[in-house]
Chain A
């Protein structure tokens, strides 16, 4: 029973990782642009949720939606204000621009919100479901379900709609896409908006389960990069499988070997898998 609890807990955490990584896979995997500020988007989503809950008294649906919308707007604004310009520069400038953006967002949050840890009030979305002795914390459960829904939604958007095809076309070849009448700026801004919006949603849902401070982005950031790489660049379902896998492996190795060994196990398996399959679990070679 305890083992089952460990695995379920790991999978629920894995779903959170997947949720966290979903926006990253959109930008990094498809636009070929490394966004180091992704963790900060999630952090801003958490604070957006907190403000909605404490100021407006919003319930889970409202605060998650509000965080997603606020971050969508921010993502699009960042594309037009910063990314569009650095895209013309060398690769290094592109990488460092989002690194700088991450620091600006993080330290602005330090000034505005202070360094103290905060968490959502217990009333927001809390409690534990007990199913035959198996304990399922409601916040993590909600994050897990949302991760599945979001992943499915993004996947369908990219593979089944005209907008998705246009997004992929721009990612594939910007010039060629322009020749067939697609406006790349609009599509790229949409991609940044979607990525930031899903990060905001992830942040709002994670805020129900975790205490955070402005530096939370760094804690989850590395795991998100690992998840995207492991899942395969550009594969939204891949990020979900990878997230679940990382969560379950971490939980099992923490339980069997001790918490300090869990990252050793995960990263060792990560390196081994990339050695065997450099394109990741679901990526194309």
Chain B
């Protein structure tokens, strides 16, 4: 509520916001009542979605929910100008006689156990026909296992741990890129920098120690080894801790040429504050999405993190593109731009909606078959993947990621060169303007 885009100054807009926030529970109650109401059009389709709506990643979770809800609105009502997107222009799902999508949202709190319970509840009590999730890889690993046993398709929009797909599951589909994809992107980016004469002799990897951080760190170490880049240190830590100065002092002693952070929100902001306090800034910081893409990151750490590089598959793009049009709708509603995380959620939702429409049925096996047959080109997406086509493990083989850099109060695309909209700022300036 206090982010820059919504203004921090006058009390009057603040008051209005507060009213809206206070009305939210009432609206939520009505939404719940609407969901459990038995009398409804027979052809409406209920999709379950689990996000971290409370807990340390709640900001990202709320943002993802905002994006998915806008996605549902785009599918359910006519949006002229979005003809290129499947289901964009028309209203509802034509394959189900114009049926609308109803979202059944739940909070997993970033806790795998809660995620598993919520998934089971949505499937067995609310009878959702498909699931969408999860942000935390640790939650995705157990929630998909619950859905697999129930025989309900589960689309993973943004969780990246390698082993979410590839466990022989038949009901799991992941639209977003996985750890080896962007580990490879980082290694190629660093190699390009080296070729350009920059000194990249060693890197350090600082990762939070749940499935997400551990899996991405392992992929980065493997990619660095292949690319012949020395790893000065790998520092795992607990993202819920109150202090990160030990990690920063360790980095200060090792002096790596680049530091890659695989971190969530509060810890990322704390890292930048601590680095400033302890006067340590490496020439290059790469953030692995998550905390660096959270809506709280730029308002809180932006002035300290100038030049930080982040990965993203989403770029607002030029007027006329799907991404631009959708970002305008999102911005009009929420007064901020879509970020990589929320955009990947929305894309995951669109892929699922398209499959249900093509299935022409709410039977789980029909939806599963339709998901398997998915074949979308890049022009039919709202994000920068090369397309959506699943392999036998359920992983999208055409997923992709790009690198963006924080310059001023927004990210600009800097790598690879053919997608760059700005020149890479080197070395990063952090808080030293």
Interface residues of A (CB under 8 A from B): 2, 5-6, 9, 13, 50, 54-55, 107, 110-119, 122, 128, 130, 135, 137, 140, 209-213, 215, 219-220, 223, 250-251, 254-255, 258-260, 262-263
Q: Given contacts A6-B245, A135-B279, is CB(A113)–CB(B1) below 8 Å?
A: yes
Task: Tell me the complex Cα distance, A110–B109, Å.
Answer: 13
Q: Given contacts A112-B18, A255-B249, A260-B209, is CB(A215)–CB(B56) below 8 Å?
A: yes
User: In the bound complex, do residue A260 and residue B236 qualify as a contact, i.e. CB atoms below 8 Å apart?
Assistant: yes
Q: Given contacts A6-B246, A211-B270, A250-B243, is CB(A111)–CB(B21) below 8 Å?
A: yes
User: In the bound complex, do residue B244 and residue A55 qualify as a contact, i.e. CB atoms below 8 Å apart?
Assistant: no
**With a CB–CB cut-off of 8 A, which chain B residues contact A128?**
276-279
Contact of A213 among B242, B266, B278 (CB under 8 A): B266
B247 (CB) vs chain A CBs: closest residue:
A259
Tell me the minimal C-beta distance from B294 to chain A in angstroms. 7
Q: Which of A114, A116, A117, A118 has the most CB of B within 10 A?
A: A117
Task: Tell me the complex Cα distance, A251–B241, Å.
Answer: 12
Contact of A13 among B56, B59, B243 (CB under 8 A): B243
Task: Tell me the complex Cα distance, A114–B273, Å.
Answer: 22
Task: Tell me the complex Cα distance, A140–B303, Å.
Answer: 20
Q: Does B3 sit at the interface, judged by CB under 8 A?
A: yes
Tell me the minimal C-beta distance from A212 to chain B in angstroms. 8
**With a CB–CB cut-off of 8 A, which chain A residues contact B395?**
none
Tell me the minimal C-beta distance from A112 to chain B in angstroms. 6
**With a CB–CB cut-off of 8 A, which chain B residues contact A219?**
56, 240-242, 266
B14 (CB) vs chain A CBs: closest residue:
A55
Contact of B242 among A113, A122, A210 (CB under 8 A): A210
User: In the bound complex, do residue A119 and residue B300 qualify as a contact, i.e. CB atoms below 8 Å apart?
Assistant: yes
Q: Given contacts A114-B62, A128-B279, is CB(A220)–CB(B246) below 8 Å?
A: no
User: In the bound complex, do residue A213 and residue B59 qualify as a contact, i.e. CB atoms below 8 Å apart?
Assistant: yes
Q: Does B54 sit at the interface, judged by CB under 8 A?
A: yes
Q: Given contacts A113-B2, A117-B269, is CB(A215)–CB(B58) below 8 Å?
A: yes
User: In the bound complex, do residue B277 and residue A135 qualify as a contact, i.e. CB atoms below 8 Å apart?
Assistant: yes
User: In the bound complex, do residue A211 and residue B266 qualify as a contact, i.e. CB atoms below 8 Å apart?
Assistant: yes
Q: Given contacts A50-B2, A111-B22, A114-B62, is CB(A260)–CB(B270) below 8 Å?
A: no
Q: Given contacts A128-B279, A258-B235, A263-B238, is CB(A117)–CB(B265) below 8 Å?
A: yes
User: In the bound complex, do residue B21 and residue A6 qualify as a contact, i.e. CB atoms below 8 Å apart?
Assistant: no
Task: Tell me the residues in window 216-269 of chain B with beta carbons closer than 8 Å to chain A beta carbons.
Answer: 235-238, 240-247, 249-250, 252-253, 265-266, 269
Q: Given contacts A115-B58, A116-B3, A260-B236, is CB(A55)–CB(B246) below 8 Å?
A: no
Task: Tell me the complex Cα distance, A246–B424, Å.
Answer: 43
User: In the bound complex, do residue B58 and residue A118 qualify as a contact, i.e. CB atoms below 8 Å apart?
Assistant: no
User: In the bound complex, do residue B2 and residue A116 qualify as a contact, i.e. CB atoms below 8 Å apart?
Assistant: yes
Task: Tell me the complex Cα distance, A169–B213, Å.
Answer: 52
A9 (CB) vs chain B CBs: closest residue:
B245
Contact of B11 among A13, A55, A212 (CB under 8 A): A55
Q: Does B295 sit at the interface, judged by CB under 8 A?
A: yes
A8 (CB) vs chain B CBs: closest residue:
B245
Task: Tell me the residues in window 1-43 of chain B with beta carbons closer than 8 Å to chain A beta carbons.
Answer: 1-3, 8-9, 11, 14, 18, 21-22, 24-25
Task: Tell me the complex Cα distance, A137–B235, Å.
Answer: 23
Tell me the minimal C-beta distance from A156 to chain B in angstroms. 29
Contact of B246 among A117, A119, A251 (CB under 8 A): A251
**With a CB–CB cut-off of 8 A, which chain A residues contact B299?**
116, 118
Q: Does B61 sit at the interface, judged by CB under 8 A?
A: yes
Tell me the minimal C-beta distance from A202 to chain B in angstroms. 13
User: In the bound complex, do residue B249 and residue A2 qualify as a contact, i.e. CB atoms below 8 Å apart?
Assistant: yes
Q: Which of B235, B242, B269 has the most CB of A within 10 A?
A: B242
Task: Tell me the complex Cα distance, A134–B319, Å.
Answer: 52
User: In the bound complex, do residue B242 and residue A220 qualify as a contact, i.e. CB atoms below 8 Å apart?
Assistant: yes
User: In the bound complex, do residue B253 and residue A122 qualify as a contact, i.e. CB atoms below 8 Å apart?
Assistant: no
Q: Which of A54, A114, A115 has the most CB of B within 10 A?
A: A115
Task: Tell me the complex Cα distance, A223–B432, Å.
Answer: 34
Could you list 23 examples of A-B contacts with CB < 8 Å? A2-B249, A5-B278, A54-B8, A107-B54, A112-B21, A116-B62, A118-B299, A119-B269, A122-B303, A128-B278, A135-B277, A137-B278, A211-B266, A211-B269, A219-B56, A219-B240, A220-B242, A223-B242, A254-B243, A258-B235, A259-B237, A259-B246, A260-B236
B1 (CB) vs chain A CBs: closest residue:
A114
Contact of A255 among B3, B240, B246 (CB under 8 A): B246
The 9 closest A-B pairs by CB, nearest first: A115-B58, A254-B246, A259-B237, A117-B296, A137-B277, A211-B269, A114-B1, A116-B59, A9-B245
User: In the bound complex, do residue B24 and residue A255 qualify as a contact, i.e. CB atoms below 8 Å apart?
Assistant: no
A263 (CB) vs chain B CBs: closest residue:
B238
Task: Tell me the complex Cα distance, A283–B238, Å.
Answer: 32
**With a CB–CB cut-off of 8 A, which chain A residues contact B49?**
none
Tell me the minimal C-beta distance from B271 to chain A in angstroms. 10
Q: Given contacts A260-B236, A260-B237, is CB(A211)–CB(B246) below 8 Å?
A: no
Contact of A215 among B54, B237, B238 (CB under 8 A): B54
Task: Tell me the complex Cα distance, A197–B375, Å.
Answer: 60
Q: Does B95 sit at the interface, judged by CB under 8 A?
A: no
Q: Given contacts A115-B53, A116-B1, A251-B246, is CB(A2)–CB(B269) below 8 Å?
A: no
B245 (CB) vs chain A CBs: closest residue:
A9
Q: Given contacts A13-B242, A219-B242, is CB(A117)–CB(B249) below 8 Å?
A: no
Q: Given contacts A211-B296, A255-B246, is CB(A115)–CB(B8) below 8 Å?
A: no
Q: Which of B266, B279, B295 has the most CB of A within 10 A?
A: B266
B8 (CB) vs chain A CBs: closest residue:
A54
Tell me the minimal C-beta distance from A110 to chain B in angstroms. 7
Task: Tell me the complex Cα distance, A10–B152, Å.
Answer: 49
Task: Tell me the complex Cα distance, A50–B1, Å.
Answer: 12
Task: Tell me the complex Cα distance, A54–B299, Å.
Answer: 14
**With a CB–CB cut-off of 8 A, which chain A residues contact B235?**
258-259
Q: Does B55 sit at the interface, judged by CB under 8 A?
A: yes
User: In the bound complex, do residue B277 and residue A115 qualify as a contact, i.e. CB atoms below 8 Å apart?
Assistant: no
**With a CB–CB cut-off of 8 A, which chain B residues contact A114?**
1, 21, 59, 62
**With a CB–CB cut-off of 8 A, which chain A residues contact B9?**
54
B109 (CB) vs chain A CBs: closest residue:
A215
**With a CB–CB cut-off of 8 A, which chain B residues contact A6?**
245-246, 249
